[in-house]
Each structure stands twice: as structure tokens, then as C-alpha cells.
């Protein structure tokens, strides 16, 4: 009865979709079947936190089709329970909310996709780009992402004045308009100067001060850059994800693989905390484990 009252509330007062209401109903009935099987005298009003935790362990141990339930699925079911008990508490059906101290299982963070150095060398050092303005621009964009780790929005926003060739640094404007300086080397300097030379020759009159422009002289936009990155990365990798952010991941991974300090990589990427950068240490450690398995005779 309580489940039906809650679902009616979602339908009439919260205007939830039928699909969402059905999902809530299935989660609640599943938990009800669980606690009734343990004790047929158990009721929603008598459920406590220990019983909910027992259900979580049951869900994590249950094998469906050969796979254990993922933390995201368990957390969704717990979310249904939390909403239900808030409703029961407000309506006076229960006096204590058993969900107050319940924490769901942590989601495993997916390791970032990245290209190997050999793949990037093959792409940038080979003859995969046309020798016209667009070909040189596209190659320059890929090299810029790989050499600096900047975000897509940061690259699009670059103006010529943001490149300091004497100090060998680039000023980028990141999230929340926070600016930072990214150093670069002689190789990128020569590539940038060559690109700017052909750009100025091909487009003597431009419609913006942008570093990277289209053939009509206007600033590049995100969809265009995303597609050219995806198209060109497809030449050297079969990764499912082939985006500018993958090149950002590749930059960070390469830096750490070559003994860069984590704090330094954090500053170069423009992360606000080390927590966002630490995922790359897991990536390099996974690679290290693979090398160990391949190289050690008893691995």
C-alpha cells in the first residue's frame, strides 16, 4: 500500500514519467521481497540501516548473467529508497529514516584513454597531412594539444598575442576565466612559426585575431576541431574515444612516464586540485604492470 501511495505521489504531484515511476516501483518491490524473505513479519516501518546495508551486500554479491551488479546500479536503487523514505517521513508513516547514514558503493573511476608515444610520433612525423594551409593547420592543432595538454575551449580561444616566442610560453584562459602560462619547446616554436607564415600568406586579411582560423579567416569552432582531431587520430589508433580530451590525457600520461612531478602536471593542466590529476598515476601504474608481466620470467 505504501509503495502505491508513493508512486501515485510521483505521478500526480511530481509529474514523473511512467518509465521513471516504473523504475522506482521495481526497486522498492525488490527490496520489499528481500526483507520479507528474511523475516515475513518485517515491515517498511521497522526497516533499519543494518537491513539496508545487508541488501547492498546482497546486490553486490548477486550474479546476473555472469556479472555482479555495478555500483551505479546499486546506487540507483538506494536513491529510490531514499526518495521513498523521505516521502514516508514527511507523510508521517515512519518516525525514523533508516537511509540517513547509508552510503552507496564507490564507483570505480574509468581510466582515461590515451595514445602511445609511438602512435603520436607516427601521426606527427609522418606524411599524413596535406601540404596546404588546412593540412598544416590541422597538424599544428594536434601538435598543440599533445605538446601543451590544453583543453578544446582553451585552444579555440587562443589569439596570436597569447604566444610569447621570446619567453617560450602560451597564455591560456581556462575554466572560470582562470589564466595560466604553459611553457613550450623549440620544436613547437618552429612548427608554430611555420604555420603562422603560411596562414598569413594564404589569408592576408583575416576576420579575427585568432591563432587558428578557418579558410574564410574566422575563428575555429569546437565541432570543427573535434571532428578533425577524431578523423586524424583514426589514422593511428583504434581507440573508441578519439577526441581532443584524449590528447590532453596523452600529454599528462607522457609527462608522468618521463618522471614529471604530479604537482607540475597539475599546474600545466590547470587542475584546481591534485585529486583530478591523480587518475593519471593509475594509468602509468597499469602500463608499468603490463611491462612487468611481459618482461619478468615469473610474472
Q: Which of 125, 132, 144 is nearest to 225 (CA)?
A: 144
Based on the residue annotation, tell me whether 271 is a catalytic residue of this protein: yes
Interval 77-136: pLDDT, tens: 999 999 999 999 999 999 999 999 898 888 766 678 899 999 999 999 988 999 899 999
Q: Which one from 86, 175, 178, 231 is the annotated catalytic residue?
A: 175
Is 213 in a helix, a strand, or coil?
strand
Residues in contact with 195: Cβ distance below 8 Å, sequence separation at least 6, in sequence order: 136, 137, 140
Residue 21 pLDDT > 90: yes
105: cell is 558503493
Q: Which of 5, 24, 26 is nearest to 16 (CA)?
A: 24
Confidence of residue 267 (pLDDT cuts 50, 70, 90): very high
Greater model confidence, 173 or 63: 173
- What is the homologous superfamily of the domain 117-295 according to CATH? Intergrase catalytic core (1.10.443.10)
Based on the residue annotation, tell me whether 76 is a catalytic residue of this protein: no
Q: Which of 126, 115, 134 is nearest to 237 (CA)?
A: 115
Residue 65 pLDDT > 60: no
Q: Which one from 136, 151, 199, 266 is the annotated catalytic residue?
A: 151
Domain residue extents for the chain:
2-91, 117-295
Interval 187-242: pLDDT, tens: 999 999 999 999 999 999 888 899 999 999 999 999 999 999 999 999 999 998 99
Q: Which one from 122, 171, 180, 245 is the annotated catalytic residue?
A: 245
Question: What is the distance between the alpha carbons of residues 70 and 29, in angstroms, rounded to a whole number?
Answer: 19
Question: What is the distance between the alpha carbons of residues 40 and 231, in angstroms, rounded to a whole number?
Answer: 60
Based on the residue annotation, tell me whether 258 is a catalytic residue of this protein: no
Based on the residue annotation, tell me whether 248 is a catalytic residue of this protein: yes
pLDDT confidence of residue 283 = 65
Q: Please report the sign of the dihedral spanned by the C-alpha atoms of residue 16, residue 19, residue 21, residue 24.
A: negative
1: cell is 500500500
Q: What are the φ and ψ backbone dihedral angles of 153, each rounded to 5 degrees?
A: -65, -35
Question: What is the distance between the alpha carbons of residues 58 and 31, in angstroms, rounded to a whole number?
Answer: 11
Q: What are the φ and ψ backbone dihedral angles of 62, each rounded to 5 degrees?
A: -75, 135
Cβ atoms within 10 A of the Cβ of 210, count? 18
Q: Which one from 139, 248, 249, 266 is the annotated catalytic residue?
A: 248
Do 218 and 208 contact (CB within 8 A), yes or no? yes
Task: Identify the burial level of 137 via C-beta atoms within 10 angstroms of its C-beta, where 0-12 means exposed, 13-18 middle and 19 or more buried.
Answer: buried
Is 41 in a helix, a strand, or coil?
coil
Question: What is the distance between the alpha carbons of residues 186 and 151, in angstroms, rounded to a whole number?
Answer: 22
Residue 296 pLDDT > 60: no
Residue 71 pLDDT > 90: no
Under CATH, to which class is 2-91 assigned?
Answer: mainly alpha
Do 216 and 224 contact (CB within 8 A), yes or no? no
Amino acid at each position: 500500500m505504501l509503495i502505491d501511495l508513493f508512486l501515485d505521489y510521483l505521478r500526480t504531484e511530481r509529474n514523473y514519467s511512467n518509465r521513471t515511476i516504473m523504475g522506482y516501483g521495481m526497486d522498492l518491490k525488490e527490496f520489499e521481497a528481500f526483507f520479507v524473505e528474511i523475516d515475513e513479519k518485517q515491515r517498511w516501518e521497522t526497516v533499519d540501516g543494518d537491513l539496508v546495508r545487508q541488501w547492498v551486500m546482497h546486490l553486490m554479491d548477486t550474479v546476473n548473467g555472469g556479472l555482479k551488479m555495478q555500483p551505479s546500479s546499486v546506487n540507483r536503487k538506494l536513491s529510490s529508497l531514499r526518495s521513498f523514505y523521505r516521502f514516508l517521513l514527511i507523510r508521517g508513516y515512519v518516525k525514523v529514516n533508516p537511509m540517513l547514514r547509508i552510503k552507496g558503493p564507490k564507483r570505480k573511476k574509468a581510466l582515461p584513454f590515451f595514445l602511445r608515444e609511438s602512435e603520436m610520433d607516427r601521426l606527427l612525423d609522418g606524411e599524413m597531412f596535406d601540404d596546404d594551409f588546412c593540412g598544416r593547420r590541422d597538424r599544428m592543432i594536434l601538435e598543440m594539444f599533445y605538446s601543451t595538454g590544453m583543453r578544446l575551449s582553451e585552444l579555440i580561444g587562443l589569439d596570436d598575442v597569447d604566444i610569447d616566442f621570446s619567453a617560450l610560453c602560451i597564455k591560456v584562459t581556462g575554466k572560470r576565466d582562470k589564466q595560466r602560462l604553459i611553457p613550450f619547446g623549440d620544436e613547437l616554436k618552429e612548427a608554430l612559426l611555420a604555420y603562422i607564415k603560411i596562414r598569413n600568406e594564404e589569408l592576408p586579411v583575416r576576420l579575427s585575431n585568432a591563432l587558428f582560423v578557418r579558410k574564410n579567416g574566422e575563428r575555429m569552432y569546437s565541432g570543427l576541431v573535434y571532428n578533425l582531431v577524431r578523423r586524424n587520430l583514426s589514422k593511428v589508433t583504434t581507440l573508441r574515444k578519439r577526441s581532443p580530451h584524449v590528447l590532453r590525457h596523452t600529454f599528462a600520461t607522457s609527462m608522468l612516464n618521463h618522471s614529471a612531478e604530479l604537482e607540475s602536471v597539475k599546474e600545466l593542466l590547470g587542475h584546481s586540485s591534485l585529486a583530478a590529476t591523480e587518475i593519471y598515476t593509475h594509468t602509468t601504474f597499469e602500463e608499468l604492470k603490463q611491462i612487468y608481466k611481459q618482461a619478468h620470467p615469473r610474472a
